[in-house]
Amino acid sequence: MSDYISKEEVLSLWHMKLSDKEIYRAIHDMPPAEVRENTHGEWIKISPNLYRCSECGRVVEKDWMEDIQIDYPFCHCGAIMDGGKTE
């Protein structure tokens, strides 16, 4: 997993009169920003009214007259249920 830093913290260095080495050190020492990589999944139909999350296996029950993609755009595991692949 990549380390992410805050764009705002990097830009705050802009106004300081720092040498290249000081800027490098300041960026190197920045704490990682709290970010979470998105996962993408899809609802897999396993019976006329049951769907399983492709990422965690959670099963949801839906009235088959409703649209699973509209009513459940996210799984409880955090996956974005757009049918896309997690990179």
Q: Is 68 in the site for Zn ion (CB under 5 A)?
A: no
- Please select the residue that binds Zn ion; options are 5, 6, 40, 58, rule is CB under 5 A: 58
Stretch that binds Zn ion, among 1-9, 19-27, 63-71, 75-83 (CB under 5 A): 75-83
Q: How far is Cα 62 from Cα 1, in angstroms, rounded to an integer?
A: 35
Stretch that binds Zn ion, among 19-27, 29-37, 44-52, 78-86 (CB under 5 A): 78-86
Give the interface with Zn ion as residue ranges (CB under 5 A): 53, 55-56, 58, 75, 77, 79
